[in-house]
Amino acid sequence: MDRYRVIPESRVELSDYDPGDTAEFSGDKDEGKDRLDELNDQLEALQELLYAEHKHKLLIVLQGMDTSGKDGVIRHVFDGVNPQGVRVANFKVPTPQELDHDYLWRVHRQVPGRGEIVIFNRSHYEDVLVVRVHELVPKERWSRRYQQIKDFERLLVEEGTTILKFFLHIDQQEQKERLQARLDDPNKRWKFNVGDLKERKLWNEYRWAYEDVLSQTSLEVAPWYVVPSNRKWYRNLVIASVIVEALEKLNMSYPEPEEDLSSIKIE
């Protein structure tokens, strides 16, 4: 899946990425779902190993336009994993306590511990996205945050965290259809927020902000992946593939018992 990985210090133009791309899988949707089932089994085994070894940490960052599928990724890619070792952190409007601290304070509190996978559903990147688009702080302030974020992520990596960052790339037409589907389906209407329509009008502003994020903060040790997400099954397949490959590279093993168990007999 390296075709979707953003090369550090390269300039990203999202128009160069096809949100409907399925080039890395020659099969159809049904075959893709079968492959995802296989990856789910692999991920389940690797996550159990990660938890048992209690050495490595995995942070997964999910960002994207409204309706791009962050919740869907969590639901489908992590289907079957042990919830004891996986946690989701959501970052909404900061609380008064959080506003009393620097913008990374609430983020650092949520990073994974040893043996844990943490999924950021939105993340510290909101402070160079929403903050920028809505002009909540001056440019001279938010523009410094690219370097601060890179330094923060390097710290996490040096302390044993593997970081994978996914931008879920959809187009405006796909977003329109997904918003309409939420509005039309009584069982999905609860997910519809009128505020999403106001954000939709700022599509270009968000696109420019994301292009700067992807261009300036993709690190060799903490890469961004631009994931084609118009087709949900392919989005899930790409993300699951990248995660499984990253976990396999950790060369994990189950820990040995602290004492000799060879003489123990269960009566």
Write out the chain's pLDDT in tens, 267 residues. Answer: 899 999 999 999 999 999 999 998 887 888 999 999 999 999 999 999 999 999 999 999 999 999 999 999 999 999 989 888 999 999 988 999 999 999 999 999 999 999 999 999 999 999 999 999 999 999 999 999 999 999 999 999 999 999 999 999 999 999 999 999 999 999 988 988 888 899 999 999 999 999 999 999 999 999 999 999 999 999 999 999 999 999 999 999 999 887 777 778 887
* Integer Cα distance of 120 and 62 in angstroms: 6
At what angle are helices 70-77 and 232-248 packed, to 10 degrees? 60
C-alpha gyration radius of the chain: 20
Please name the CATH architecture into which domain 2-248 falls: 3-Layer(aba) Sandwich (3.40)
* Integer Cα distance of 117 and 113 in angstroms: 8
In Å, what is the CA distance from 30 to each residue of 17, 141, 229? 24, 48, 17
**Residues in contact with 90: Cβ distance below 8 Å, sequence separation at least 6, in sequence order:** 121, 122
- The ranges assigned to domains in the chain are 2-248
Look up residue 50 and give its amino acid. Answer: L
Phi, psi of 201 (to 5 degrees): -65, -15
